[in-house]
């Protein structure tokens, strides 16, 4: 059996997925280099709501993703203490139609192992006085608030402490290929302007919504659908819990309290190029309108910021809005298409990045004949503040 330290793995992408993978592979003993074209977390990861999903949002229509979320939610609380506000979430029914969704919602949560507590209107309003007084019923679930950037920094800090190399502002401009094998990447350092070749035994494409572009450099196709959504931050922390609408996932049906702000999200459409994302004004308006149906005060709160980010969803090009696509993830070993040395991981959520990394690292181990079990369920992550300290020791 080979030793992990005999192999060098190059990870493309410094979002949640690449960060968790660098941690997993470094713990298993691999030599790891992660390259990121901008600052780490500058892709989709640094721009999400900051919701630690319980999975309840997906429990009825996307149970695979719901199970992944609840399992990872509990693991992350253990391995990343103090990274989350354990504020829970409420799914609120405002209309009769919402109330009719209660039964399938509770059934779905039970099937997926998501704990629930049904609350009367009075109980819900006592917990969250700014809820719409028309609320009919609410369900409490173990959602939480996280800082979108700090959790990946904790994965990266721990990876650095275990010997991984992290190179921000380093863009892959091409993959190195010989006889059907990817053996590294040509990278451009955006600080020095210099290009060089980085050699690797396995290259992992963790480029999120850009994964299709990286895969094309290897001559393979990955079914990734960049699916943007608009997020709106308003001044004021109008609730302490995460508020969700009790209905099938739709526009403007999540409000996440983040420090003194409230983040309202989101919309969903599909694009070809994740580098060109609009913030359509009608989407911003819709966030205010839909958010106000759950918490009226957000409807006239002052706009702090509005932005968009693209989900890296796995699915067919026929998808029209992205809502119909699962939030689960998929790992592709491109050996099945005749390309050796190259693996892609796409889809999922920031909440499920650790699980995505575990699956991908298992694939890497199988490819190179290494037996090294995953340890990321147990190892406590270093604090996010260790990241820049440790990076400095590498010369950045
Ligand atoms: C609007 C919105 C709200 C969301 N809210 C939540 C939420 O509340 N909770 C949750 O759990 N999930 C949420 N998600 C999903 C979550 O944000 C994503 O699933 C996750 O961040 C994807 O991480 P990633 O690492 O796969 O991709 P990314 O974070 O996009 O990372 C890929 C990285 O690859 C880099 N890259 C691209 N090309 C190259 C290259 N050539 N060379 C080097 N680097 C390259 C990019 O710069 C980028 O940093 C949300 C998504 C959206 C769009």
Residues 366 and 236 grouped into a single domain: no
Indicate whether 265 and 295 sit together in one domain: yes
Q: Is residue 362 part of a domain?
A: yes
CATH assignment at residue 277:
3.30.9.10
Domain boundary among the residues 293, 314, 335 is at: 314
CATH number for position 387: 3.50.50.60
Please give all residues whose beta carbon lies within 6 A of any atom in ligand 1, as ranges: 12-18, 35-38, 42-45, 48-51, 53, 171-172, 206-210, 214, 229, 231, 265-266, 309-312, 348-351
Q: How are the residues of the chain apportioned to helix, strand and coil, as percentages rounded to the nearest 5? A: 35, 30, 40
List per-block mean pLDDT (blocks of 10 residues) for the chain, which spans 396 residues: 95 98 98 98 97 97 96 98 97 98 98 98 98 98 97 98 98 97 98 98 98 97 94 98 96 97 96 94 97 98 98 79 82 97 97 98 98 98 97 83
| Per-residue confidence (pLDDT) for residue 327, from 0 to 100 | 85
140 located within any domain = yes
DSSP annotation of 370 reads: B
Atom of ligand 1 nearest to the CA of 309: 53
Residue 77's pLDDT is 98
- Alpha helices by DSSP H, the chain: 16-27, 63-79, 96-100, 102-112, 121-127, 150-161, 211-217, 281-294, 353-368, 386-393
For residue 315, what pLDDT is reported?
A: 84
Could you tell me if residue 54 is inside a domain?
no
Instruction: Give a yes or no: residue 76 inside a domain.
Output: no
* Of 290, 314, 338, the domain-final residue: 314
Mutate to test the pocket of ligand 1, among 349, 351, 353 (most ligand atoms within 8 A of CB): 349
**Secondary structure of residue 171 in the 3-state scheme:** strand
Task: Respond yes or no on whether the N-terminal peptide bond of residue 266 is cis (omega within 30° of 0).
Answer: yes
96 and 125 within one domain: yes
Structural contact between residues 264 and 362, judged by C-beta atoms closer than 8 angstroms: no
- Residues 384, 275, single domain; the answer is no
Query: Does 351 fall in a domain?
Result: yes
Contact (CB, 8 A) for 113 and 70 = yes
Q: Which of 314, 336, 369 is the last residue of a domain?
A: 314
Domain of 268? Answer: 87-144+225-314
Query: Is 64 within a domain?
Result: no
Phi-psi region of 345 (alpha: psi -120 to 50; beta: other; left: phi over 0): beta
pLDDT at 395: 75
Tell me, yes or no, whether 139 and 156 share the same domain. Answer: no
pLDDT of residue 320: 66
Q: What are phi and psi of 87, to 5 degrees?
A: -90, -10
């Amino acid at each position: 059996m080979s030793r992990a330290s005999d192999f060098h793995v190059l990870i493309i992408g410094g979002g949640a997925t690449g960060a968790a993978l660098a941690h997993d592979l470094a713990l298993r003993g691999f030599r790891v280099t992660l390259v990121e074209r901008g600052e780490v977390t500058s892709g989709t990861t640094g721009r999400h709501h900051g919701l630690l999903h319980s999975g309840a949002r997906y429990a009825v229509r996307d149970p695979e993703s719901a199970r992944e979320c609840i399992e990872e939610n509990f693991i992350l609380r253990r391995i990343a203490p103090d990274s989350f506000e354990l504020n829970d979430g409420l799914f609120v029914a405002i209309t009769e139609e919402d109330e009719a969704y209660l039964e399938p919602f509770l059934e779905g949560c039970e099937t997926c192992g998501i704990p629930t507590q049904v609350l009367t209107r009075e109980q819900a309003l006592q917990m969250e006085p700014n809820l719409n007084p028309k609320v009919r019923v609410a369900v409490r679930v173990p959602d939480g608030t996280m800082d979108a950037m700090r959790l990946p920094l904790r994965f990266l800090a721990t990876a650095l402490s275990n010997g991984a190399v992290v190179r921000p502002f380093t863009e892959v401009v091409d993959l190195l290929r010989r006889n059907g094998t990817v053996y590294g990447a040509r990278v451009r350092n955006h600080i020095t302007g210099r290009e060089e070749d980085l050699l690797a035994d396995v290259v992992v494409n963790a480029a999120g919504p850009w994964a299709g572009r990286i895969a094309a450099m290897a001559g393979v196709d990955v079914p990734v659908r960049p699916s943007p959504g608009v997020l709106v931050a308003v001044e004021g922390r109008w609730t302490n819990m995460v508020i969700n609408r009790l209905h099938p996932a739709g526009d403007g049906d999540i409000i996440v309290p983040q420090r003194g702000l409230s983040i309202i999200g989101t919309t969903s459409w599909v694009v070809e190029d994740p580098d060109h994302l609009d913030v359509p004004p009608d989407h911003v308006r819709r966030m205010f309108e839909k958010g106000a149906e759950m918490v009226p005060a957000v409807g006239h709160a002052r706009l702090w910021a509005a932005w968009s980010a693209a989900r890296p969803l796995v699915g067919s090009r026929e998808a029209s809005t992205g809502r119909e696509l699962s939030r689960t993830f998929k790992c592709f070993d491109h050996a099945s298409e005749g390309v050796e040395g190259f693996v892609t991981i796409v889809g999922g959520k920031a909440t499920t990045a650790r699980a995505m990394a575990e699956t991908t690292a298992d694939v890497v181990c199988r490819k190179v004949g290494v037996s090294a079990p995953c340890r990321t369920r147990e190892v406590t992550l270093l604090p996010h503040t260790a990241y820049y300290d440790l990076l400095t020791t590498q010369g950045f």
